[in-house]
Amino acid sequence: MTRALILGGTADANQLAEALAHVGLDAIYSYGGRTRAPAGQPLPTRIGGFGGVAGLAEYIRQEGITHVIDATHPFAAEMSRNAVAACAETGTPLIAVERAPWARTPGDTWIEVADIASAVAALPENRARVFLAIGRQHIAPFGARPQHAYTLRFVDPPEGALPFDANVIVSRGPFTLDGELEMMQARGIEWVVARNSGGDGARAKIDAARALGLPVIMLSRPQLPERPRMDNVADALQWLGHRTCLGA
Ligand code: 3Y8
Ligand code: NAP
């Protein structure tokens, strides 16, 4: 009897949860507990870490999980690595729903960097108006360049002081092209720092930067261990042995 664990927290995971609930498959949706009020799901939901590889392996055994679907974000590298290790340890089938990275298109001005330190180093010396669209967890290193006027975007209001003077937009996305164009023009944004998340939920800022001729410092994805991958929810459903109702 199939009992699936969805490692969630993304638009893809939400679409998968809708589809699994629709076909009545026994599944649990898991959030890491990063945001104060995560979106509700049509499946039983758990929130918070498992306690590393051992904790996830124990959870799989105790809950009788038969399949794990890693539908986390491409930058949720630790969760993805733990899932590979725990599924190997327990002999549990694992699949990753992993959307393709955004590809540079004509008109894009990207500076591709491997890590946050390189992103900081890629900023200009002279004061500029910089939109840091990389969330809350990894912004402190930009404090090394206090000459810039930063705009940050968080899912939840900041707790306590920021590591440097900045203007914060609180919004959880998904974002629209018109909304991004309006925000960037109103704030006179000159540089954008983004992660190559892929998917549609956050690509509007990339399209807006292209339309405005702005440079984007683009953080490349972390390396993940090899694991079976699909780039769409319909295939993941079929992997679980269910005819998809998603038009495939
Ligand atoms: C808690 C679940 C949906 C899903 C929304 C997607 C789209 C918007 C793009 C920008 C970039 C960023 C950030 C972002 C995107 C979707 C999707 C996606 C980027 C939620 C969610 C959780 C999180 C965690 C949060 C991180 C943060 C990253 C903001 C829910 C809304 C910047 C990633 O405050 C914090 O600690 C936030 C942490 C990890 C990265 C960071 O380091 O700060 N996502 N995002 C999940 C959990 O607890 O398990 O609250 O409902 C999900 C979504 N985030 O359609 O409803 O699918 O990719 N999320 C990045 O790309 O750099 C925003 O602002 O342009
Ligand atoms: P991460 O750094 O890869 O994981 C750190 C630890 O958080 C994991 O080892 C695990 O703790 C716990 N964790 C992460 N995701 C979890 C999940 N879905 N269910 C249960 N525990 C989880 O993770 P992250 O990058 O902070 O991402 C956290 C969540 O936000 C994920 O759901 C991800 O899909 C979502 N998200 C992240 C980004 C991003 O930019 N990173 C963007 C959009 C959405 P234990 O070791 O204790 O098990």
Give the CB-side neighbour count of residue 163, counting CA atoms within 13 A: 12
Distance in angstroms (rounded) separating the CA atoms of residues 154 and 35: 10
What type of residue sits at position 238? Answer: Q
pLDDT in tens, 140-180: 999 999 999 999 999 999 988 898 999 999 999 889 999 99
Q: Which CATH architecture has domain 4-100+223-239?
A: 3-Layer(aba) Sandwich (3.40)
Q: Note the CATH number of domain 109-219.
A: 3.40.50.720
pLDDT band at 242, cuts 50/70/90? low
End-to-end C-alpha distance for the chain, whole angstroms: 24
Q: For the chain, where do the domains classified as CATH 3.40.50.720 start and end?
A: 4-100+223-239, 109-219
Residues contacting ligand 2 via CB (< 6 Å): 7-10, 30-32, 34, 49-52, 55-56, 72-73, 75-79, 82, 135, 195
d(CA 154, CA 73) in angstroms, rounded, equals 16
**Mutate-to-test residue for ligand 1 from 12, 50, 172, highest number of ligand atoms within 8 A of CB:** 172
- Helix then strand then coil, in percent of the chain rounded to 5, is 30, 20, 50
What is the average pLDDT across 121-131? 98
Which ligand has its closest atom nearest to the C-alpha of 176? Answer: 1
Angle of CA points 51, 70, 77, to nearest 5°: 65
Question: pLDDT per residue over 1-55, tens digit each?
Answer: 899 999 999 999 999 999 999 999 999 999 999 999 999 999 999 999 999 999 9
Q: Residue 188 contacts by C-beta under 8 Å, 6 or more apart in sequence?
A: 129
d(CA 145, CA 125): 8
Question: Average pLDDT in the 224-228 region?
Answer: 93
Task: In whole angstroms, give the CA distance from residue 173 to residue 182.
Answer: 15
Does the beta carbon of 168 sit less than 6 angstroms from any atom of ligand 1?
Answer: no
